[in-house]
């Protein structure tokens, strides 16, 4: 048998047989086939090969396969992704103690930073005694508030407190309301009447 000289058409035969060409390409192949015996015979051979494979292939049960696919998917979804983490009582206690320590440390840091800052405020010429009374006033909730009078003298700052005093102070802090007032207590400032500042 001679070979077809139109290689492009001959190469297009499998796709033409499988129905993978667009309308224009398919029409071009049909036109070529009308005048090419070599390609016509080759196309017949390809069609026979397809028929042979069709005949040799058992018909599979698509519905049964689909059911297996869906079943396998559902089974995969039900499978646990990871084993749940077991938290023992000991672990829980350890975490609880860590959290308490962290909370206590946070309070200490905030208080130790805020007291010196209040002392050094420029427009609040408070002396130690007045600051203590302000802190005491805050702790008592202001006028008419619930009395939680500080039993510790904070004049020297937290650094001067002993461990026992610090513990007492922390206990007293626990009784103070967590919500602070939006407006700070008014501070009676001395009148500035110096002529050079006016």
Partner 1 sequence: MGDSSGTTSETTDAALISRWVSGDQRAATALVERHAQSVAQFVVSLGERERTEELVQDTFVRAFQAIETFRSDSLFRTWLFTIAKRLVLDHRRSERRRRDDVEVQEDHLVVSFDALDGMVGDERMQQVWRAMQGLSPMQREVFTLRVTEGLPYNEIAQMVGSSAGACRVHYHNALKTIKERVTDA
Contact letters (x/-) for partner 1, 38-77, by CB under 8 A? ---xx--xx-xxxxxxxxxxxxxxxxxxx-xxx-xx--x-
Position among 15, 102, 113, 137 found at the interface with partner 1 (CB under 8 A): 15
Orientation of helix 37-56 relative to helix 23-33, angle to 10°: 120
Orientation of helix 7-17 relative to helix 23-33, angle to 10°: 120
Q: Which is nearer to partner 1, 51 or 100 (CB)?
A: 51
SS3 124: coil
CA distances to 39, 124, 192, 193 from 42, in Å: 5, 104, 113, 116
Q: Which is nearer to partner 1, 50 or 112 (CB)?
A: 50
Residues in CB range of 41: below 8 A, 6 or more apart: 1
The answer to whether residues 29 and 16 touch, using CB atoms and an 8 Å cutoff, is yes
Q: Closest approach of Cβ 158 to partner 1, in Å? A: 58
Q: Taking CB under 8 A as the rule, does residue 110 contact partner 1?
A: no
Q: Taking CB under 8 A as the rule, does residue 159 contact partner 1?
A: no
Q: Taking CB under 8 A as the rule, does residue 16 contact partner 1?
A: yes
Q: Closest approach of Cβ 72 to partner 1, in Å? A: 5
Q: Closest approach of Cβ 31 to partner 1, in Å? A: 19
Orientation of helix 89-119 relative to helix 163-175, angle to 10°: 90
Binding stretches for partner 1 (CB under 8 A): 1, 14-22, 41-42, 45-46, 48-66, 68-70, 72-73, 76
């Amino acid at each position: 048998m001679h070979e077809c000289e139109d290689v492009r058409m001959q190469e297009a035969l499998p796709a033409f047989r499988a129905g993978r060409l667009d309308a224009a390409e398919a029409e071009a192949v049909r036109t070529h086939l009308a005048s090419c015996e070599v390609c016509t015979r080759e196309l017949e051979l390809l069609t026979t090969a397809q028929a042979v494979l069709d005949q040799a292939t058992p018909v599979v049960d698509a519905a049964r396969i689909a059911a297996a696919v869906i079943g396998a998917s559902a089974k995969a979804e039900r499978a646990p992704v990871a084993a749940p983490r077991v938290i023992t009582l000991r672990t829980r206690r350890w975490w609880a103690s860590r959290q308490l320590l962290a909370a206590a440390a946070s309070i200490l840091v905030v208080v130790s930073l805020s007291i010196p800052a209040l002392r050094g405020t420029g427009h609040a010429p408070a002396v130690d005694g007045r600051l203590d009374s302000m802190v005491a006033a805050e702790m008592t909730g202001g006028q008419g508030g619930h009395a939680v009078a500080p039993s510790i003298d904070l004049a020297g700052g937290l650094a001067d407190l002993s461990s026992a005093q610090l513990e007492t102070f922390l206990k007293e802090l626990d009784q103070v309301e967590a919500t602070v007032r939006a407006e700070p207590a008014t501070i009676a400032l001395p009148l500035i009447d110096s002529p050079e500042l006016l």
